[in-house]
Amino acid sequence: MESENGADEAGNGRNNHEEKFHDAEDGLCRGNGNPDEGDARGKPGQGSGDIIARMPVPKYATHYKMDHKKRGLAYIFNHEFFQCGGLKARSGTNEDCKNLKACLLFLGFDVLEFKDLNYTDIEYQIREVARMDHTHHDCLLIAVLSHGEMGIIYAKDTPYKPDYLWSSFTADRCPTLAGKPKLFFLQACQGDKLDGGINLSKTETDGECYNTYRIPVQADFLIVYSTVKGYYSWRNTTKGSWFIQSLCEELKQKALHYDLMTILTFVSQRVALDFESNVPDSITMHRQKQIPCLMSMLTRLIQFTPPK
């Protein structure tokens, strides 16, 4: 139901098909004489152990280096209209994009905004930024505002697996970002489940020095989903999505005072406590809740410094 404050929306207006996933094949792992072994058969592939990348911080530094010459690039892929699957237009997404862009500019990012790209165009942009020299950058940030389902996110013309967005930035593929934070924010549904919430009531009762070190190529990623796998992600048609509203507000208030993981905890708190769907014409959709979901491979804390 639309009001002067906009209506809350969830989902993409079509039936969702659950994607099937399979566990890695169980089997004997051939050891190398050392006590550490894997839990599934490895896939033959090119090793990355001989690739050498510049060490941005000492081995046991508590924080990432966030005072390079530049903060880094921030790409926003904003999707409002679609040409596949009968997907509805995402009213309110331009407000999300505007607020997020302003917030990232405030933090010192060089922000590039892309509107309603086809998948091949997204592929091109990702390939190009992965080939760039990020030596003098603190980090990389990519945000996608779109429709989604279980395990997929939508470009204008087709769905794709979000893993593609970050797979090009592993340390072996993009050495100038090795040891630096790579941040991904996904505002999209991950399914069609609803979170009705629960009421809580109060109850009372009685330094070492190293010249070099190795890191996993998958290290230093942070992937933040607007909702938990299998669940709707809500968006107000006037003000934008709950998640992006909360993210921008918390970053504006706390980015220079707290580390990013702490800030994201407050983002989750804001989404969980301050928002509830307002769809009185639908008993099923009315008064529903949402909680973001984080997947962190970070090895240090991210503390934004005042932009240069």
154 contacts: CB under 8 Å, gap ≥ 6: 12, 79, 82, 84, 85, 87, 146, 147, 148, 160, 188
Residue 189 a catalytic site member: yes
CATH dotted code for 72-193+215-240+293-300: 3.40.50.1460
Q: What is the pLDDT of residue 47?
A: 53
Catalytic residue among 79, 134, 137, 147: 147
Q: What is the pLDDT of residue 19?
A: 39
Q: What is the pLDDT of residue 198?
A: 82
Domain ranges in the chain?
Answer: 72-193+215-240+293-300
Q: What is the pLDDT of residue 137?
A: 98
Catalytic residue among 97, 139, 174, 189: 189
Please say whether the beta carbons of 144 and 186 come within 8 A. yes
pLDDT in tens, 96-121: 999 999 999 999 999 999 999 999 99
Residues of the chain with pLDDT under 70: 1-5, 11-50, 201-211
Cα–Cα distances (Å) from 259 to 60, 204, 225, 300, 304, in that order, read 17, 33, 18, 10, 7
Q: Quote the radius of gyration of the chain (alpha carbons, Å).
A: 21
Q: What is the pLDDT of residue 102?
A: 98
The whole-angstrom separation of Cα 292 and Cα 232 is 11
Nearest to 222 by CA among 145, 109, 299: 299
> Which alpha helices (H) appear in the chain, and where do they start and end?
93-106, 119-131, 163-167, 242-254, 260-274
The whole-angstrom separation of Cα 110 and Cα 101 is 9
Task: Look at the alpha carbons of 190, 91, 72, 121 in this order and tell me if their dihedral is positive or negative.
Answer: positive
Q: What is the pLDDT of residue 4?
A: 43
